[in-house]
Structure 1
Amino acid sequence: MLTPGTPLHALASTRSLCLAGLCLLGTVAQAASFPSAIDYDGTWRFDPSLGWFVEYDGGWIWSEGNGFLYVTEEGNWDTDGVYFYDHGMQRWFYSDHDAYPWVYAWGDDMGWQKVVTVGSSGDRHFYLSEADRTIFEDGYVVTGTTYEVDSRSAFDDAVAAAGAGDLILVSGNLADTSFSVKNKVVADGYLRIRAADKGSTALKAFTIDNCEGISLEGFTFGPNTSSTLLKIVNSTRLQILQNTFDFQDVENNQNGIVTTQGTADVEIAYNVFKNKNVSATETQSKVSGSYIKTQYDEPQMTKRLHIHHNYFKGIVPLLEGDRFAGDSDRECIVFGVSDSQDVETHHVVEQNLFEDCDGENEIITIKTSYNTIRNNTFHNSLGSVSIRFGTGTEVSGNFFIGDENNQNVFGNDLGGIRAYGSQHKIYNNYFQGLTGNSYRIPILLDSGDTTDSTGGDGHQRATDCEVVHNTIVDCAWGIALGLNYSLTPKDNHIANNVVQNRKNALYYIGSNAQGESSNVFEHNIGHSLDAASIGFEGSDSEVWATDPQLEATNFNGWSIYRPTAASPVVDYGAAGYAYVGVDFEGQTRLTPDAGADEVGGGAPLIWPVNAWQVGPNPR
């Protein structure tokens, strides 16, 4: 961690640490836009949620747009400490971590909170829970009693006695023991159930049944033969944090987390899901099961999952002959079934890393309505984010990247996003090096084979969807409208996209979608570097064949192509898509550019996700 005495040159290469909403440090930008009254000799900080801060005269100043807020002169804050600000809480946090692990909350609830210290007393990382807005270090804040247990019976006794703010610390050799909490309601705050040794305390399985206010932290589940490692039944306001779900060499069908009945408001964050096997050695049958799955118990359905900062990796592909199998029930995340397509679930999946997730056609399967998939990174993963059923899902700000480092060698299977149903929005996504075709084209608004897919596996044509402000570079295909079935997609808008490839069609319209005037193309750019074709027979105002002048830049360790200042994408975006208020870096769009990147928008606020930012031990 840096202290306020850190010189500006030392901050120049500092990465932002954004953990469950608390963003600490970032890179330094030019200060030319700040008022002259500010002392530029102060130390600068950057928060992606707010902007730039400067240490000034013993206090701190917050910049939001053109305005400034002088935070405080009160409290005699020790300037040798480190200060943080959280926008959601509108509070400052302070840690003098060299002397004692305290955090000071400046706001309505003034005062000190002692933070539990776990492990080394050296440099500490602080997190902020989205669910209860509590700042915590490593193992979170504990305000009540700590119960230390090493057996199932002792655990059950502790659960019966414990309440809000209490901690149950679990240790021992329990890898063959299943635990459960049933009918435990913590109405105010959380009862925290934590591994005494994060990542090393193993349990066979866990069930949370008809509970509220439970936090499960730091355990390892698997490898073992349980059909489900963590089952959540009809429970609300839960946290599943910093756990490891390991499927290495498991030869039976197995899910990681399954939620059922009326479960709601569950935060699943900073976990790792890994090592999904392909088949049972003896029978050679496929080993199915997903990392996270929501079950439909009609009329009940899980709602409002917040899945963030997890590391999903290592689902080995299933082969059919010498080909990658399309459907093997081995997704990373599954929301619902066909019958749940009209249920509005409002799940949010963000800031996760999916790497070498090669189970089937669908990395994420969405079969409910009104969900958000944003700011994730999909690296060398076969298949696509599939909006398979439903209405009103948004997929935005994601990075889909393929390269020569794919752990499983299959030449034409790295996919992007495909959509069926209505009123979906796909925007600000970036695609590079994807080799997929058919169902795994970078962006596919597909045709349909039925007008009512309830109760079956049919496909409803894409209707009233918008594909805007996306960038596709060096992929096998670009954007496709109508491909696999007979019912024509209608009333869709494809606008302000940039596609630059070397082969096949940049903008492909299937035979059953050609001539459908309700589908609108406007202000797209297409550029062939070799043998690619525009693929769209329309006017220049629909697809402009021109060089977008993209250059490779280092973006949080990833090589990402962005337009130069002289690019024709600048200010070329058509109006009418006001919901795309920022670009894929979180920069404001004023007069919008075409593509995912707004040229000259300042320092990035959003980055492609790296492994060091996710999972149980982020840096």
Structure 2
Amino acid sequence: MKKLLVLISIFLSFETLASDILVKNQSELESAIKTVKPGDAIVMANGDWRNIEILLETNGTAKSPITLRAQQKGKVTISGESNLRIAGNYLNVEGLVFKNGNSPTSEIIAFRKDSKKLAYNSRLTEVVIDNFNGPERNNVEAWVVLFGRNNRVDHCQFINKRNQGVTLTVRLDTDESAENKHQIDHNYFGYRQNLGSNGGETLRIGTSHNSMKNSQSIVEYNYFDKCNGEHEIISNKSNQNTYRFNTFFECKGTLTMRHGNETWVEGNVLIGNGVAFTGGIRVINEKQTVINNYCEGLTGNRFRGALTIMNGVPNSPLNRYVSVKESNVTNNTFVDCTHIELGAGNDKERSESPQTSTIKNNLFYSNGSPQHFGVYADLSGISFENNVVNKTTTFPSKTGFKVEDVKLNTLPNGTKCAKGIGAEIKEAVASKENTGVKWYSKNTESTEKANIIKAQPGLNTLFDAVKNSKSGDIIELTDGEYNHTKVIHLSHPITVRGTKGSIVTFETNNLFVIENEGGLRLVNLTIDGKISNDSPLNAVITTSKYSMNKNYNLFVDNCTVKNLTANNFFNFFKVATSTFADTVSITNSSFSKISGDVLALNKEGDEIGIYNAETIIIDNCDFTDIEGAAIIFYRGGSDESTTAGYMTINHSEFKNVGLGKKNASKAALDLVGLQNLDIKNSIFEKSSAIKMLLTVGEPKAEVHHNVFNQSSDFEIKGEGFSEKENSKNIASNTKVMGDDKLSIGRK
């Protein structure tokens, strides 16, 4: 007994020796790390720690970990060229904010010093990373990278990742990082913009090269808020991982079992609210379990369906698609989800259908139109059992489905359930409120009130008004001419709104340049190129010639653009590489006498699936005497990780378009790699052809209810495209000659 008391006394004396070590600069921090003992906390003083690379390399114990923390949570900012590495045992980091900077390496926070010295039994908690991005859009930068074993990332907040690279990833490069049993929980993954290329995952566990290793990571109770980087919000690429009780809110992608087997997906809530392209759960590989998940209001199709079961590649290499085998999808609920995709991706390569798998006890419920079951392959390898729909629809199987008058009950957590069928999520779900940190805002939108700034006609008055504006302001013009000898650089979004008599001219190569963080809306203007410089490659609007890591938007409504003829290649809008528009929208507008192209969205030529704009809308417009193309769009390569462009042209007229001698495309519309194209109710008169090359995935090209008057019509090319099979998409067009009456076009 006396010995025991002595041991307890010694233990307590060690505990009382643990101390907080306040450090105020990098030198003091480095000294503290060298001398710190188990149980100690190194406390970083409040303030901005700029251009600091922290290496926390030491060892605590299970009972007495070593902690690196902020003096006050959220009051210590890591900025400039900075990063953090953790190496050793039982190390904790908490309360820091990474903001206003970027890492000098490819990782912001790494659970390793180098390939030999990793982190074990360590924890990252209540840490915020907000817009900590390098300036180059296509440079690969990961925010948090887990190596070693038994590490935890919890209650952290990751928002506004803008460039290539995974937000949080688990690496299994060596045996020391396999069977790692990491825990990733209660984190808030905030808005991630569409990257416009592969490499925009929010969370990934493993890589294709190591996908047959067991990771055994657990991802639970996290909130994914508008994570839109690419098709795969979560990309599972290793064995035996668990994804449970996470919430996905309006995310334009899926929880994807991309590589690896024995994945467990349970109790997740996926809410789309009818937002376009929102996705669900995608199943690939063997021995996968999808059970008791709740999906509502998801609209994505193909690889973004609410439930997608993929076709596979026979004897697939690690980096392609292993066939679905011995997998089950059980007791899940799909409410008002538009697409269930079975055998998706079936083509010459992915020719192996799902096998020895089960879909049973699932509820497919719809308040409106019945949900669509897309069947793309032989489904005899799937056993369908006791699935219920509440409205008659075309079933993917003659057995295993029944129509019932289902009554849904709403649970306190907001999900809905039906007795005896589908999912029942009984506990509180992950939310904005119970994930991340409470002391840092999750709101990424500006709350400043927009001002109206009036600009009078004259020399550079619009330039001056923009210079004095802030994000969201409206520059209001009156009747008269606004002449510019200075280029207007836009470093934040603005609106320029005129009247019918507002005329803008410019003597420079460009009128507007959209810089990083910028955006532009033009309303009720006439833009006249009559006094523009006679120099090559003019454009009314361009993007920055430097990489832009923030997506922008361009809206043009009720505008007239004319006389862009000072040289042979005078464009209306021209982009640069490493720039990306969420939306380019041209409505109720007229373009005439242009020597170049109207929209030149074709500056990504590396053939790796990168492109310049996601959504292009042309509605109720006319294009007359355009020597170049009205639109050029290019997305090369065969990567399927992105949506690769959506274009709608409706009620518009194209007269004498694309016939210029220096128009290299020889087309009125030159479109490569779009995923969805819809041209309708429009007139093409005395114009070049519409040229479309369909290059990736399962693209849709719809050209219908148009009139071609003394014009070349359209040509659609691409592997797997059959005019006969797609006849319904290219029907009801009319070809007329001479003065036959044209009954459609602008409204």
Alpha-carbon separation, structure 1, partners of 2:165 and 2:101? 14
Of 402, 410, 428 in structure 2, the residue corresponding to residue 544 of structure 1 is: 402
Q: Is the 8 A contact 1:500 1:506 kept in 2?
A: no
Match of 1:610 among 431, 434, 444: 431
1:335 CA drift (Å):
1.0
Higher relative contact order (CA 8 A, sep 6+): 1
Percent of aligned pairs with the same residue? 23
Partner of 1:280: none
Verify the 8 A CA contact 2:295 2:337 in the aligned structure 1. yes
Q: 1:297-344 deviations in whole A, cap 9, x for unaligned?
A: 2455352110111000110113xxxxxx4x521111111111111111
The Cα of 1:453 is off from its aligned counterpart by 2.3
Give the distance between the partners of 1:420 and 1:562, measured in 2 at CA: 27
- Could you tell me how far apart the structure 2 residues matched to 1:385 and 1:548 are? 27
Residue 307 (structure 2) pairs with residue 443 (structure 1): yes
Does 2:55 correspond to 1:180?
A: yes
CA distance 1:452–1:536, shift in 2 (3 Å): closer
Q: Does 1:290 align with 2:166?
A: yes
Counterpart for residue 369 of structure 1:
239
Is the Cα–Cα contact under 8 Å of residues 232 and 256 in structure 2 kept in the other structure? yes
The residue correspondences of 1:419-458 to structure 2 (distance < 5 A) are: 419-454=283-318, 457-458=319-320
Equivalent pair of 1:212/1:237 in contact (CA under 8 Å): yes
User: How much does 1:480 deviate?
Assistant: 2.8
Could you tell me how far 1:364 is from its partner in structure 2? 0.6
Cα deviation for residue 443 of structure 1 reads: 1.4
For each residue in 1:53-96, what CA deviation from the matched residue of structure 2 results, as whole angstroms up to 9, or x when unmatched? xxxxxxxxxxxxxxxxxxxxxxxxxxxxxxxxxxxxxxxxxxxx
Alignment match, 1:465: 327
* Matched position secondary structure for 2:110: strand
C-alpha distance in structure 2 between counterparts of 1:356 and 1:272, whole Å: 14
Aligned residue in 2 for 1:212: 89
Match of 1:237 among 121, 144, 155: 121
Corresponding letter in the other structure for 2:378: A
Match of 2:98 among 196, 199, 221: 221
Match for residue 390 of structure 2 among 524, 527, 541:
527
Aligned twin of 2:363: 498
Alpha-carbon distance, 1:608 to partner? 2.1
Amino acid of the structure 2 residue aligned with 1:167:
A
**Offset at residue 474 of structure 1 (A):** 0.4
2:41 is aligned to 167
Q: Distance in 2 between matches of 1:223 and 1:467?
A: 44
Q: Could you say which residue in structure 2 is the equivalent of 1:85?
A: none
- Checking the alignment, whether the CA contact within 8 Å between 1:341 and 1:368 is kept in structure 2 is yes
Give the C-alpha shift of residue 481 in structure 1: 4.5
Question: Quick check: 1:353–1:614 contact (8 Å CA) kept in 2?
Answer: yes
1:526 CA drift (Å): 1.3
Q: Which residue of 1 aligns with 2:273?
A: 403
SS of corresponding position for 1:613? coil
Partner of 2:732: none
Cα pair 2:67 2:93 within 8 Å, conserved: yes
Structure 1 residue aligned with 2:160: 275
Given residue 364 of structure 2, which amino acid in structure 1 is its aligned partner?
Answer: V
Q: Aligned pair 1:199/2:74, yes or no?
A: yes
- Residue 56 of structure 2 aligns to which amino acid in structure 1? V
Give the counterpart of 1:148 among 22, 37, 62.
22
Provide the residue aligned with 1:18 in structure 2: none
2-side partners of 1:345 and 1:618: how far apart? 33
CA drift of 1:473 comes to: 0.3
Q: Could you tell me whether the CA contact under 8 Å between 2:98 and 2:132 is conserved in 1?
A: no
Q: Using the alignment, how far apart are the partners of 1:144 and 1:471 within structure 2?
A: 52
1:479 is displaced (CA, Å) by 5.8
Does the C-alpha gap of structure 1 residues 415 and 157 become closer, same or farther in structure 2, counting only changes over 3 Å?
same
What is the distance in 1 between the residues matched to 2:403 and 2:394? Answer: 7
Aligned positions of 1:25-424 closer than 5 A: 144-171=18-45, 172-184=47-59, 186=61, 188-204=63-79, 205-226=82-103, 227-233=106-112, 234-247=118-131, 250-252=134-136, 253=139, 254-260=141-147, 263-277=148-162, 287-301=163-177, 303-318=180-195, 325=196, 327-403=197-273, 411=276, 413-424=277-288
Given that 1:142 and 1:167 are in contact with CA atoms closer than 8 Å, whether structure 2 keeps it comes out as no
Aligned pair in 2 of structure 1 residues 298, 215: CA closer, same or farther (>3 Å)? closer
Runs of at least 4 residues of structure 1 off by over 6 A? Answer: none
Give the Å deviation of 1:597.
2.0
- Pair 257,301 (structure 1): closer, same or farther in 2 beyond 3 Å: same
Q: Determine helix, strand or coil for the equivalent of 1:612.
A: coil
Larger Rg: 2
Please tell me whether the aligned partners of residues 245 and 274 of structure 1 are also in contact (alpha carbons under 8 angstroms).
yes
Q: 1:230 and 1:486 mapped to 2: Cα distance?
A: 41
SS at match of 2:259: coil
1:24 maps to: none
C-alpha deviation, 1:248, in angstroms: 5.7
Cα distance in structure 2, aligned partners of 1:494 and 1:392: 16
Tell me by how many angstroms 1:527 deviates: 2.1
Provide the rounded CA distance (Å) in 1 between the counterparts of 2:293 and 2:126: 28
Segment drifting more, 240-249 vs 493-502: 240-249
Instruction: Classify the secondary structure of the residue corresponding to 1:222.
Output: strand
Letter in 1 for 2:164: S
* Alpha carbons 1:186, 1:213 under 8 Å: kept: yes
Distance 1:433 1:142 in 2: 55
In 1, Cα distance between equivalents of 2:355 and 2:337: 26
Q: CA deviation at 1:164?
A: 1.8
| 1:497 counterpart letter in structure 2 | N
CA contact (8 A) 1:164 1:190 kept: yes
Q: Secondary structure at the match of 1:156?
A: helix
Q: Separation in 1 of the partners of 2:146 and 2:160?
A: 21
Shift of 1:153: 1.5
Deviations along 1:355-409, one digit per CA (max 9) or x if unpaired, are: 01000000011100000000010000110011101110100000000126x6xxx
Distance 1:150 1:464, change over 3 A: same
Q: Output the amino acid matched with 2:340.
A: G
Letter in 2 for 1:561: K
Structure 1 position 296, deviation (Å): 3.8
Secondary structure in 2 aligned to 1:339? helix
Residue 478 of structure 1 is matched in structure 2 by 340
Q: 1:435 to 1:415 in 2, by over 3 A?
A: same
Deviation at 1:241, TM superposition (A): 0.4
State whether residues 145 and 167 of structure 1, in contact with CA within 8 Å, keep that contact through their aligned partners in structure 2.
yes
AA partner of residue 555 (structure 1): P
Paired residue type of 1:533: T
Residues 554, 525 of structure 1: alpha-carbon distance in 2 compared, 3 angstrom cutoff = closer
Cα distance between partner residues in 1 of 2:361 and 2:352: 26
Gaps of 5+ in 1: 1-108, 114-140, 278-286, 319-324, 564-569, 571-592, 599-603
Specify the code of the residue in structure 1 equivalent to 2:55: S
Q: Secondary structure at the match of 1:414?
A: coil
Report if the CA contact (8 A) 1:231-1:259 is conserved: yes
CA distance in 2, matches of 1:148, 1:525: 62
Tell me how far 1:219 sits from its aligned partner. 0.3
Measure the CA separation in 2 of the matches of 1:473 and 1:317.
26
> Any idea what SS the aligned residue of 1:158 has?
helix
SS of the residue 1:159 aligns to: helix
